[in-house]
């Protein structure tokens, strides 16, 4: 349980940090347009965004870089937001879309879809690749199934934090096992597609899919932000939250459902991207506290910034190769999380800012 003074401290510093973070996200967002193996000039990038350049440059900007940059912003922010809300609802710092099984369920759905249709000669991979929404929809259905089962099983214990986490771990292991079976049964030419989808890749998304993500993530961001006082009360303990009129079981259920839907949609479109949902909220908490009025937008912006930077790194490292961004987030996310854990601990007590 957090002390109220711990939650509400550093308001001025947090507001200043939000504006700085917003500026960094804007810089990274527009800077990503200039990163890529095509070697476009400044003029070509700007004119290509407005379809005023030649056909080749226009295609690169509007079909590749713009959708990819938007996806990095929305998915990074969405995962940071989803991870934060899962941690708050469960009062568990390790909660995230990966640890609660949402990511693994969506991955199994995509693998099953590819195994059925990619492995059928009558359809072929080109048919499947031309219908990305069908693949994402199949993955999303299994993510919803995982969410529904987890919430239903957790309801028997009134959505207690420990119960939800344990159920999520069990669901993650179950769907991971099913994914392994799919890959074992796949033919050689199908296996590469199955394994490749298991890594986060932002190149799959187009502007239509980005619109779907924005329509789901941004309203949830506002909804969570307007409920900041309820989440602050929850961090002060269940008894305190009930004393100020918060319906704790209902708040937890709705929060977990919306956060899981955000994560499921993100994973359904791009595959598993690890550590963003854990690292982004913890970075903000480590330096600016637990007040949700700033923690919610801070986690969203930090998640967006982290994924934008990682995506630019994949373009620099991979060049013309399709290096999965999920590999970069895991490569840098794991040591970053361990560093936060070590730096944030003094003696036998964790330092709460």
List the domain boundaries for the chain.
Answer: 4-350
State the pLDDT at residue 153. Answer: 82
207-261 pLDDT, tens digit each: 888 999 999 999 999 999 999 999 999 888 888 888 888 888 889 888 988 888 8
Q: At residue 130, what are phi and psi to the nearest 5 degrees? A: -80, -5
Residue 82 in 3-state DSSP? helix
Closest CA to 167 of 179, 312, 220, 159: 159
The model's pTM:
0.85
Cα–Cα dist 180/191, whole Å: 11
292-342 pLDDT, tens digit each: 999 999 999 999 999 999 999 888 876 555 678 888 888 887 787 777 767
Residue 99 in 3-state DSSP? coil
Domain 4-350 adopts which CATH fold? ABC transporter involved in vitamin B12 uptake, BtuC (1.10.3470)
pLDDT band of 177, cuts 50, 70, 90: very high
Radius of gyration for the chain, computed over Cα atoms and rounded to the nearest angstrom:
21
Residue 250: exposure state from Cβ atoms within 10 A (0-12, 13-18, ≥19): exposed
């Amino acid at each position: 349980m957090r002390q109220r003074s711990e939650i509400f401290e550093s308001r001025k510093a947090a507001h200043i940090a939000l504006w700085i973070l917003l500026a960094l996200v804007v810089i990274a967002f527009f800077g990503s347009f200039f990163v890529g193996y095509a070697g476009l000039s400044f003029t070509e990038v700007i004119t290509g965004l407005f379809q005023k350049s030649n056909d080749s440059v226009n295609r690169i900007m509007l079909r590749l870089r713009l959708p990819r940059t938007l996806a990095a912003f929305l998915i990074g922010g969405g995962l940071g937001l989803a991870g934060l809300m899962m941690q708050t609802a469960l009062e568990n710092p390790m909660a995230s879309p990966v640890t609660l099984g949402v990511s693994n369920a969506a991955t199994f759905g995509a693998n099953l879809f590819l195994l059925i249709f990619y492995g059928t000669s009558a359809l072929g991979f080109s048919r499947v690749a031309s219908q990305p929404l069908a693949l994402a929809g199949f993955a999303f259905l299994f993510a919803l199934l995982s969410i529904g089962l987890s919430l239903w099983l957790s309801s028997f214990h009134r959505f207690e934090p420990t119960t939800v986490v344990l159920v999520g771990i069990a669901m993650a292991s179950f769907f991971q096992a099913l994914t392994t079976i799919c890959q074992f049964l796949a033919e050689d030419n199908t296996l590469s597609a199955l394994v490749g989808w298991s890594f986060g890749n932002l190149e799959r998304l187009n502007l239509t899919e980005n619109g779907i993500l924005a329509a789901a993530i941004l309203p949830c961001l506002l909804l969570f932000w307007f409920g900041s006082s309820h989440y602050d009360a929850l961090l002060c303990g269940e008894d305190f939250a009930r004393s100020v009129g918060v319906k704790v079981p209902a708040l937890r259920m709705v929060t977990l459902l919306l956060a899981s839907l955000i994560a499921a949609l993100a994973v359904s479109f791009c595959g598993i991207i690890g550590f963003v949902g854990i690292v982004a909220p913890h970075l903000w908490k480590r330096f600016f506290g637990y007040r949700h009025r700033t923690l919610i937008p801070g986690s969203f912006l930090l998640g967006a910034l982290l994924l934008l930077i990682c995506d630019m790194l994949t373009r620099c490292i991979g060049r013309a190769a399709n290096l999965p961004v999920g590999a970069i987030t895991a490569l840098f996310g794991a040591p970053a999380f361990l560093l936060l854990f070590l730096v944030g601990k003094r003696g036998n007590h964790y330092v709460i800012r």
